[in-house]
Amino acid sequence: MGTQLSWPVATYLKTPRLDLEPVRVEHAEEAYPWMADERIHAFTGGQPDSLDELRARFRRQAEGHSPDGTQGWLNWMIRHRTGRLIGTVQATVTRGNLNGQDLLQAQLAWVLAFEAQGHGFAREAASDMVIWLMGNGVQRFTATIHPRHKASKGVARAVGLHPSIVVIDGEIEWSNDAIWPTVESGLIGT
């Protein structure tokens, strides 16, 4: 079993159009209809969870850390000011080492209801999450994005990430590191 570490705890966040609520089991029933929509799995793959599976996942995520304590789990539900849940943002926080320096790093992810896509909600929520994470000591950020997912690339750019040469399960790792040559820098071919 890993060492139990202390991790930041997700708190309620507010943006101009959205409320980010730390995930609770009770969110599952409200989120299930749009999370069961197969269209939101077009780039991420997999199948939608059943309602019971979604409840179990939210229960695990709400604990705030992995069972062995080696990861901090920060998960928020995105609620539009109309009152509707429209998505999620999340960060899996770990301790890392970059050039001999210990640091906190976060693997980021975002998912929006199909009908909520294309309005800048993911960008707004992810940006607020990253600002909050930076205020809680996180220095390195990554996200893995399908090479054809233009909307997620836009969100990644908005939070300061750039594509790297790292490929994980067919997805490109984006990060805020300056150490990797990127397609955008012209150091690798497109």
pLDDT tens per residue across span 44-83: 777 889 999 999 999 999 999 999 999 999 999 999 999 9
Domain covering 13-143, topology: Aminopeptidase (3.40.630)
pLDDT at residue 108, rounded to an integer: 98
Residue 3 has pLDDT above 80, yes or no: no
pLDDT band at 4 (very low <50, low <70, confident <90, very high): low
- The CA-CA-CA angle for residues 78, 51, 127, to 5°, reads 15
Tokens 């179990």 correspond to 56
- The single-letter code of the amino acid at 107 is Q
What is the torsion angle, in degrees rounded to the nearest 10, for the CA atoms of residue 122, residue 124, residue 130 and residue 132? -130
Alpha carbons 156 and 123: distance in angstroms, whole number: 8
Rounded to two decimals, the pTM is: 0.88
Tokens 């893995």 correspond to 144
Alpha carbons 171 and 148: distance in angstroms, whole number: 9
pLDDT tens per residue across span 79-129: 999 999 999 999 999 998 777 778 899 999 999 999 999 999 999 999 999
pLDDT tens per residue across span 159-190: 999 999 999 999 999 999 854 444 444 433 33
